[in-house]
Amino acid sequence: MQAQTDYNGKTVLVAGAGRSGLAAARFLIDRGARVILTDSKDRSALDAAIAGLVESTGDSGALELELGGHRPRSFERCDLAVVSPGVPLALAEFELCRKAGIPIIAEIELAFRHIEGRIIGITGSNGKTTTTTLVSELLSGAGMRGFAAGNIGIPLTGLVPDSTPEDFYAVELSSFQLEGIDLFRPWIGSILNLTPDHLNRYRGYEDYVAAKRRIFMNQKPTDFAVLNADDPGTASLVAELKSTPVTFSRLKAVRYGAFVRRDRIVYRDPGGETDLFPAASIKLKGSHNLENTLAACAMAILAGAPPESLEDSVRKFTGVEHRIEYVAEIDGVQYFNDSKATNVDAAIKSVESFPGNILMIAGGQDKGGDFSLLKHPVRQRVKRLVLIGEAADTIRRALGKDVETSGAGTMQEAVTLCRQYAQPGDIVLLAPACASFDMFRDYEHRGRVFKDAVRMEQQ
């Protein structure tokens, strides 16, 4: 347990009624707080999500809903403000909290102040969900109490009540969550990679990187920082760490960490080298997933998992939903769902996971990415680009000279177009390179709609 706070009789404003906000609200109410839950969405859009919380609080007065917009007065009269990841700290109303001296913290910070057990914090531009899930699987496979939480869809606050000192929490962290930390200190922290992302929310790439680097700000020499030695942006951080650096590389041997040698995964620490398993044991597609596996193995060993226990879990791990997820084969054409490819770099990695003959569905809400970076992989491997969403015209201008393009108004139309153009041996790949919020609730909703559309084509 990291710290204790008495919420009894306090008024806490929770901004954002998504999963994290609802978990925080429930946690605080259970500890005697009066919660003001505020969201820009109106009641009709949130009714299903908040129904359980509203029913459990009843007429107790412990929950006050402010939906359909934020009321400035509430930001001035609370004792604490807790922020969901989807709510920017640049929101004008938070300035009222700052002027009044009211603390503003992320939901992940709230959880950290109360949770028992050790935190393994994982961030980066891409690969967070896969690596976080694999770390928890490696720990569980070793007979340890390993759990996945955070931006992966399971709020860490919701796991606090049942936490024990023996627990290990692999926590996926977005830059948005890290903006709102204060005391948060992972025993093991990792930045997997750094590429431009969320530039629609930051003034520039440097601000985005600065938010990611906050994962290490409270670490001490007894903590560990796991970094990608092949990524210049993360490798350069080693010199500024207070914690012990541990690296991973698919290209070269490292002094302390995990790497590939002659198609085998090797781990080296001050005690010597351990041959772990053949790289062929990794079932996930793409060189980026080799990096994710190296990072996960390094973190699992640091947490105490016996090296000999890792191979079985790695062999069994076939990935997570919406990350280059195999959906179906229709008339000799395979369909893959990589809805989590929400930025340009992730889409590049997705395309490079296949040798070619790809019909790629891309588009959505532009996050300020440079779509021209897709030119080379698209030219080499994509035979047709089917574009959806707000960014369709922007992507067409960037890539239309390099590949045949088609437009679609819905996901079903996009999948139907792909089926019409595809030939046996081709790949239909959803790799949007964009956020989903123009047409869908989130990337998970987008991925499910894609899978439903594929199933419709099977009928």
Residue whose C-alpha is closest to residue 56's, from 19, 16, 29 = 29
Evaluate whether residue 371 is within a structural domain.
yes
Evaluate whether residue 4 is within a structural domain.
no
Q: Which secondary structure element, helix H or strand E, spans residue 282, and what is its range?
A: none
Predicted confidence at residue 368, as pLDDT, reads: 87
**226 plus 262 within the same structural domain:** yes
151 catalytically annotated: yes
Assign residue 84 the CATH number of its domain: 3.40.50.720
Does the pLDDT at position 49 exceed 90? no
Catalytic pick from 70, 114, 126, 151? Answer: 151
**366 plus 278 within the same structural domain:** no
Predicted confidence at residue 202, as pLDDT, reads: 67
Structure tokens at 390: 């707000």
What whole-number distance in Å separates Cα of residue 309 and Cα of residue 300? Answer: 10
**78 plus 116 within the same structural domain:** no
Structure tokens at 76: 């001035």
**81 plus 136 within the same structural domain:** no
* pLDDT 10s digits, 335-371: 999 999 999 989 998 999 899 999 999 999 998 889 9
Phi-psi group of 71: left, alpha or beta (phi > 0 → left; psi -120 to 50 → alpha; rest → beta): beta
* pLDDT 10s digits, 239-250: 899 999 999 999
Contacts of residue 420, defined as CB under 8 A and 6 or more positions apart, other chains included, come to: none
Catalytic pick from 70, 198, 322, 451? Answer: 198
Distance of CA 228 to CAs 140, 285, 286, Å?
24, 19, 16
Assign residue 360 the CATH number of its domain: 3.90.190.20
376 catalytically annotated: no
Contacts of residue 389, defined as CB under 8 A and 6 or more positions apart, other chains included, come to: 363, 364, 365, 432, 434, 438, 439
322 catalytically annotated: no
Predicted confidence at residue 1, as pLDDT, reads: 43
Task: Please give the tally of structural domains in the chain.
Answer: 3
Does the pLDDT at position 198 exceed 80? no
Evaluate whether residue 2 is within a structural domain.
no
**157 plus 93 within the same structural domain:** no
**225 plus 364 within the same structural domain:** no
- Contact indicator for 209, 200 with CB cutoff of 8 Å: no
Burial 7-46 (b: 16+ CB within 10 A, else e): beebbbbbbbbbbbbbbbbbbbbebebbbbbbbeeeeeeb
Which residue range(s) make up the domain with 420?
325-458
Chain-wide mean pLDDT for the chain? 94
Structure tokens at 304: 């105490």
- Contact indicator for 319, 413 with CB cutoff of 8 Å: no
Catalytic pick from 114, 128, 322, 340? Answer: 128
Mean pLDDT in residue range 54-83: 93
Domain end, chosen from 278, 298, 316, is at: 316
